[in-house]
Structure 1
Amino acid sequence: MKPATVATLLLCFLLVVLTRSAPLSSAPPAALQAAAERAKTLVEKILRDVPAVYEAAVTMQGLTLDPPSQTSDLQMMVSSLGIPPAPVLKPPSETFTLAVCVTRMSAGCQLYQGLLGDLSERLSGLSDLRADLRDLHTHINKMKEAAHLVGVGEGQSVDLASRLHGNYEVQVAAHLTLTQLRSFCHDLVRSLRAVAAYQLPGNR
C-alpha cells in the first residue's frame, strides 16, 4: 500500500475517533446564558421595587395594586390614554422563535421606559425604575448580540404626555403603567429562564 494511501486512511480514522469522542453541545451559548441571567436578576429587582413605587406615586382613592383595580372606567381610560398592552411573551419554541421572544422583550422595555419618562414629568419617584428598565434593555441587546439577532425590530413609542391633561389622567396612567409593567415583568422572568436554557440550532 502506498504511503499516501496509508496516511489518508490514518487521517480518516483519527477524524472518526475524534468525532465520536467529542461531547455533544447541549448547553446554551455562554454569552446568551449570562446575559439572560443578568437580565432576570434585574427584572426580579424591578418586581420588588414596583409596590413601593406604586404606593408613592398612586394616591387616588380606589386605585390599588393588589388586587389590581379593574373597572369599566379604567378600561375606557386605557383607550383614551393610548396605552398599548404589553407585548405577549412566551418561552422560545419552533412557533415562537428566539428572535420574536427577544424582540418583544426589547419592545416592552422601551414601551415602559417611555411611559415612565412621560409620567416622570408629573410625578416623582419613577426615575430609578426607569433607569433599571434602561439597564435591562442593555442586557437584552447583549442577548441579541450573543444569539446573532442584530437588526431585529424595536418597539413603538407612545406619546402619553400630550394626554395627561389633569391629575386624574396622571393617576390612572401611573396605575395602568405600573400594573402592566409588573405583569410584563412576571412574563419576562419566565421567558428569560427559558432563554437561559435555550439551545441555538447550531448547538443542538
Structure 2
Amino acid sequence: MNAFTVVALLHCFLLAALVQSAPVSSPSNPSQTFKEVVERVMRLVEKIRKDVRSVHGSIINIDGLTLDPSSQTGQLEMMRITLGIPDTPVLKELSEQFTADMCVSRMLAGGRLYQGLLVDLSGRLGGLEALSAELRDLVTHINQMKDAAQLSSDSSDQSSLDLTLNLHGNYDVQVAAHLTLCQLLEFCHDLIRSLRNMAETQMARGTR
C-alpha cells in the first residue's frame, strides 16, 4: 500500500468520524417557527378576503346580490339549501371542549370545502380560478401550521360534492357563486380570529 493510499484512507476515516460526531441540527425555536407559519397563513387569508371582494364585483351582475350582510334574505338562504351549498365549518374560541386539534381540522375542512365549490363553479363561470388556487395554497399552509404546532387533525375528506348538478341556468350559477363568496368571506373572518386565538394560546404553552 503506497503513501497516497494511506493518506486517502486516513482522510476518509477522519471525515466519517466528524460526520458521526456532529450534532444533529434542530429547529432553533419551535414557538417562533409556529408564529411565523401563523403569520404566513394570516397574510394569505387577508389576501383572499380582498380578492373575494374583487372577484364578486367582477363576476356577479344580478342587482341586489351584494356582500352587504343586510342583503342576505331568507329567500337566498332557501336557495342555498336548494342548490346544495353546505354550511361553513364552525370555528370557536379554544377551550377544553374545542381543542386546537379540532380547530385546525375545521380550518382544513373549510379550506377544502370552498376550494371544491369554486372548482365546480369555475366550469360555469369564469374569474374564479385564481381564488381557487389561493385556497389550495391556504390548505397547504394550514397543514404546515398544524405540523409546526404538532397538532393532529381528522384527515378524512368530506363527501365529494358536485354543485353543478343543481345549477340549471345562469341565475342559479350567479346565486351559487354569490352565496359561496359570501360564506367564504365570513369563513375568512372567523379564520383570522381563530388564528390569533390559536397563536396566543400555543405561544403561551410553548407549542406543547
Partner residue in 1 for 2:168? 165
Aligned twin of 1:112 = 114
Shift of 1:180: 0.4
2:171 is aligned with 1:197? no
Where does the alignment leave 5 or more consecutive residues of structure 1 unmatched? Answer: 1-26
Q: Which residue of 1 aligns with 2:143?
A: 141
**Over aligned residue pairs, what C-alpha RMSD do you find?**
2.0
Q: Indicate yes or no: 2:191 matched with 1:188.
A: yes
Q: Kindly tell me: are residues 31 and 152 of structure 1, through their superposed partners in 2, closer, same or farther at Cα, counting changes over 3 Å?
A: farther
1:176 alignment partner in structure 2: 179
Q: What is the distance in 2 between the residues matched to 1:28 and 1:92? A: 20
Superposed counterparts of 1:1-204, under 5 Å = 29-67=31-69, 69-150=71-152, 152-156=154-158, 157-199=160-202
Rate the CA distance shift 1:69–1:158 in 2: closer, same or farther, 3 A.
farther
Q: Whose relative contact order is higher, 1 or 2, with alpha carbons under 8 Å and at least 6 apart?
A: 1
Query: 1:13 maps to which residue?
Result: none
Deviation at 1:69, TM superposition (A): 2.6
Counterpart Cα distance in 2 of 1:91 and 1:67: 23
Asked if the contact 1:107/1:154 (under 8 Å) is kept, the reply is: no
CA drift of 1:65 comes to 1.2
Q: Which ranges in structure 2 are unaligned for 5 or more consecutive residues?
A: 1-28
Aligned residues: 178
Structure 1 residue ranges (4+ consecutive) displaced by more than 3 angstroms after TM superposition: 200-204
* Partner in structure 1 of residue 19 of structure 2: none
If the length of structure 2 is used for normalisation, what is the TM-score?
0.78
Give 1:154 shift: 4.2
8 Å contact kept, 2:30–2:148? no
